[in-house]
Chains A and B, each alone.
Chain A
Amino acid sequence: MFDFLSGYDLLGAFWVTVQLTLLAAVGSLVWGTLLAAMRVGPVPLMRGFGTAYVNIVRNIPLTVIILFTSLGLNQTLGVSLGSQDFDTINFRLAVLGLVAYTSAFVCEAIRSGINTVPVGQAEAARALGLNFTQVLTLVVLPQAFRSVVGPLTNVLIALTKNTTVAAAIGVAEAALLMKEMIENEAELLLISAVFAFGFVVLTLPTGLILGWVGKKVAVKR
């Protein structure tokens, strides 16, 4: 029944999906936190930049962003991210595109987390003489992160599924393999089912484990 799987590197393709997810997750957590900091910070221009960035990026289809990283950044602006080989370049560009897109959602999640921290916390911190960076990094963000594990998990799951868009610039992840298999094999429904199952295996445990972690670390108020 599963003869059609032979000759295809299914695990390899899903491994690329996992790599894309993990790298983009780390990148978008960092960039998304920075964006959130800009949006609540004292410099008006940075606030404006953060708002504009989030509003533009999250309204563009991811496919366009991914294609832009390759067509625009690489083919026009000449950014090659330290590699000569197109396969490597496009993998890195896909990570970059996913980071650019996902960080907008990370930023919004963290901002909603900052809103759940009681005003008294920040006021007390300021009364102690802490400056903005210290208030944010020592007092507010640690509490905010604990309350947004749930939303961030959802963003991570969405990111896992969004890596399929990297197929648009030829990154050999799961969706590209699926497309190739559908072109060559007859068992369309079975192939879809196998790949659907693969994604369920990747995303469901993530949701369950992080959901448990979220409950564990949540600040009880």
Chain B
Amino acid sequence: MSGSSVLYDAQGPRARLRNVVYTVVFVLALVALVWWVYRSLSDKGQLDWEKWKPFFSGSEAWTTYILPGLKNTLIAAAVSMLIALPLGALFGIARLSDHVWIRVPAAVIVEFFRAIPVLILMIFGNALFSEYTSVSSDDRPLYAVVTGLVLYNSSVLAEIVRAGILALPKGQTEAAQAIGLRKTQTMTSILLPQAVTAMLPAIVSQLVVIVKDTALGGAILTFPELLAAVSPMSSYYGANTIASFTIVAVIFVLLNFSLTSFASWLERRLRRRKKSTGAVLAPAAVGGTESAGATV
């Protein structure tokens, strides 16, 4: 079912009137809500210029707190993605192996790391690095955050890869076998190239999850990322917590929204280009194939 308009009839005069009534009621409800929020905020002095000034006049707040935090968030997210991607592909393919002794351990590892909160994986990583390696204490939080994110996201990416390969028409494998390709050849020169194109949007939207999850590292491991910047920032500017969190939330939304927009642009582009026979795995549809990774 592609267009949602199949769900309702073309609108006649009465239906249109009803729509107008619904719209008006909905608008009134929204306006009432927004007005209530606005009134309460301004009654409590949360909209005072003093609380918002640091962000809009002068660049101090940005250069001292926000931008360094944003930089760390981006670094952690990028490094995690770059390590998790090949690892995920490896495990995804391993789960499709014909050999039980490869398939089962891969499945166990993937299921295990998907079942544990990333936060616990990060704490675990931090302990590992401080006990058994000589990583300097400056780098340790980054390493721990990346470790946690890689462990979790490579298992999610493994599921995306697996779903992507399974979503290819069976004829592709059969044709490859018919012309005498070996299993490895079938995987590397027939299945993977097609699956990669199909998976790209899902992979990009997994990046959003990674970006958001870096914030967990700030809360518990003193990793100086964007969200952790709120604490020294709001204490310096006279407890403007509401303003600080709002600004940081807006930055996250803009950052992630541009990533998801990129994902859907990619999806449209790949869909238009009929070169690949495989279906495109939409971010939402990745969950659609059974037991694929939830991009939550």
Q: Which residues of A contact B (CB under 8 A)?
A: 39-46, 49, 55-56, 58-64, 67-68, 71-72, 76-78, 102, 105, 108-109, 111-119, 121-123, 126, 131-132, 135-136, 140, 147-148, 150-151, 154-155, 157-159, 161-162, 164-165, 168, 175, 178-179, 182, 188-189, 192, 195-196, 199-200, 203-204, 207, 211, 214-215
**A160 CA to B231 CA, complexed, in Å:** 27
| Residue from the list A63, A78, A108, A175 in contact with B284, Cβ < 8 A | A108
In the complex, are the beta carbons of B249 and A76 less than 8 A apart? no
In the complex, are the beta carbons of A59 and B253 less than 8 A apart? yes
Q: How far is the CB of B25 from chain A (nearest CB, A)?
A: 10
B175: which A residues are within 8 A, CB to CB? none
**A143 CA to B288 CA, complexed, in Å:** 14
In the complex, are the beta carbons of A76 and B294 less than 8 A apart? no
| Residue from the list A64, A105, A119 in contact with B248, Cβ < 8 A | A64
B208: which A residues are within 8 A, CB to CB? 58-59
The residues in B between 254 and 296 inclusive whose CB is less than 8 angstroms from any CB of A are: 255-257, 260, 282-285, 287-296
Give A59's nearest chain B residue, CB to CB: B256
Q: How far is the CB of A32 from chain B (nearest CB, A)?
A: 12
Q: How far is the CB of A221 from chain B (nearest CB, A)?
A: 12
**A135 CA to B5 CA, complexed, in Å:** 12
| Residue from the list A123, A131, A140, A196 in contact with B120, Cβ < 8 A | A196
Task: Report if A112-B284 is in contact (Cβ < 8 Å); known contacts: A59-B257, A59-B260, A117-B1.
Answer: yes
Extra A-B contacts (18), CB below 8 Å, given A58-B256, A116-B1, A154-B287: A39-B4, A43-B26, A55-B253, A59-B253, A61-B213, A63-B227, A77-B37, A105-B295, A112-B285, A114-B4, A119-B6, A126-B6, A164-B117, A175-B119, A192-B124, A196-B120, A207-B111, A214-B290
Q: Which residues of B contact A (CB under 8 A)?
A: 1-2, 4, 6-9, 11, 15, 19, 22-23, 26-27, 30, 36-37, 40-41, 44, 46, 111-112, 114-120, 123-124, 127-128, 131, 208, 212-213, 215-216, 219-220, 227, 241-242, 245, 248-249, 252-253, 255-257, 260, 282-285, 287-296
Task: Report if A61-B212 is in contact (Cβ < 8 Å); known contacts: A55-B257, A117-B1, A131-B8.
Answer: yes
| Residue from the list B19, B40, B287, B291 in contact with A76, Cβ < 8 A | B40
Give B24's nearest chain A residue, CB to CB: A45
Give A101's nearest chain B residue, CB to CB: B296
**A122 CA to B220 CA, complexed, in Å:** 50
Task: Report if A150-B252 is in contact (Cβ < 8 Å); known contacts: A49-B26, A114-B1, A175-B117.
Answer: no
In the complex, are the beta carbons of A151 and B260 less than 8 A apart? no
A45: which B residues are within 8 A, CB to CB? 22-23, 26-27
Listed residue (B44, B117, B285) with the most chain A CB atoms within 10 angstroms of its CB: B117
Pick 5 A–B contacts, CB within 8 A, sort by A: A59-B253, A76-B46, A112-B288, A115-B1, A182-B123
In the complex, are the beta carbons of A49 and B8 less than 8 A apart? no
In the complex, are the beta carbons of A109 and B287 less than 8 A apart? yes
In the complex, are the beta carbons of A72 and B242 less than 8 A apart? yes
Task: Report if A164-B119 is in contact (Cβ < 8 Å); known contacts: A126-B9, A150-B292.
Answer: yes
**A164 CA to B249 CA, complexed, in Å:** 20
In the complex, are the beta carbons of B249 and A60 less than 8 A apart? yes
In the complex, are the beta carbons of A76 and B127 less than 8 A apart? no
In the complex, are the beta carbons of B215 and A63 less than 8 A apart? yes
A78: which B residues are within 8 A, CB to CB? 40
Q: How far is the CB of A40 from chain B (nearest CB, A)?
A: 4
B22: which A residues are within 8 A, CB to CB? 43, 45-46
In the complex, are the beta carbons of A40 and B242 less than 8 A apart? no
Listed residue (B2, B40, B282) with the most chain A CB atoms within 10 angstroms of its CB: B40
**A112 CA to B46 CA, complexed, in Å:** 40
In the complex, are the beta carbons of A118 and B1 less than 8 A apart? yes
Give A104's nearest chain B residue, CB to CB: B296
B30: which A residues are within 8 A, CB to CB? 49
Listed residue (A58, A108, A140) with the most chain B CB atoms within 10 angstroms of its CB: A58
In the complex, are the beta carbons of A64 and B249 less than 8 A apart? yes
In the complex, are the beta carbons of A199 and B117 less than 8 A apart? yes
| Residue from the list B2, B120, B248, B253 in contact with A192, Cβ < 8 A | B120
**A108 CA to B1 CA, complexed, in Å:** 15
In the complex, are the beta carbons of B127 and A192 less than 8 A apart? yes
**A189 CA to B292 CA, complexed, in Å:** 30
In the complex, are the beta carbons of A76 and B26 less than 8 A apart? no
Give B73's nearest chain A residue, CB to CB: A61
| Residue from the list B4, B253, B282 in contact with A60, Cβ < 8 A | B253
